[in-house]
Amino acid sequence: MDKLNEYLPQSVKDKKILITGATTGIGRATALLLSELGAHVMVVGLNEQHLEDTLKDLYKVAKGEVFDVIADLSTAEGIGQVFSKVDSAFDTLDILVNNVALPFGSITEGNYEGWQRVVNTNLLSYMACCNNALTRMRNAGHIVNIGSMSADVREESGSVYVATKSGIQGFSESLRKQVNKDGIKVTLIEPGAVDTDMQDFPTEEKLQKVESLEMLTADDIAASVLYCLSQPQRCDVVNLKIRPHLQLI
């Protein structure tokens, strides 16, 4: 029985958690799951209506405290707003889930300002949030970066998006080597196709792809986040790749 208890998932109850991109898709599903399990969750979003909808559902299930902030994480001002709210709500930070992301296609599309916004949101915000989170973690903590299979597949139609997700991959590997000696865990989760707004398909088609095992749900990735957070201190899930059963690339 002692051995069994040792490997039962560690609780996220009462953990103080910051989740970016938390009002839709994977971030929203993760916030709902961790909040229902008793974590104190701060959700960050940009769209006010999406935030209101998420908070309405969070308040139905939450067993911990819920905090929220509207901020544009492509800007230094937005990052500052988030961590000002963190400091007003939490005395420390246990977990950061970097999830915010914007879709984008090829470098032959758009312009400098558009590319900059995507890079700032998808990559620089991860770096900035990690920098701020590490100063608030007290000799223990966990950073979960949500990447993408695009970092490995490198689709020809998405070079800008691929660049950001490849950057997250390299950044996460290097950061872990730096901070794990301080008791901080770093996990990179790289999903395949997931039924979220990032997928440019009609809703019915996405649901069909889920049914036919060609696409995951946001709840599947939220469960993966929980799995990584639930391991004993000695166990680091460094890189978790999760794909739909019939996604072969």
Q: HEC profile for the chain?
A: CHHHHHHCCCCCCCCEEEECCCCCHHHHHHHHHHHHCCCEEEEEECCHHHHHHHHHHHHHHCCCCEEEEECCCCCHHHHHHHHHHHHHHCCCCCEEEECCCCCCCCCCCCCHHHHHHHHHHHHHHHHHHHHHHHCCCCCCEEEEEECCCHHHHCCCCCHHHHHHHHHHHHHHHHHHHHHHHHCEEEEEEEECCEECCCCCCCHHHHHHHHHCCCCEEHHHHHHHHHHHHCCCCCCCCCEEEECCCCCCC
Say whether 7 is catalytic.
Answer: no
Rg (CA), the chain: 17
Exactly one of 7, 112, 126, 161 is catalytic; which is it? 161
Catalytic residues: 161
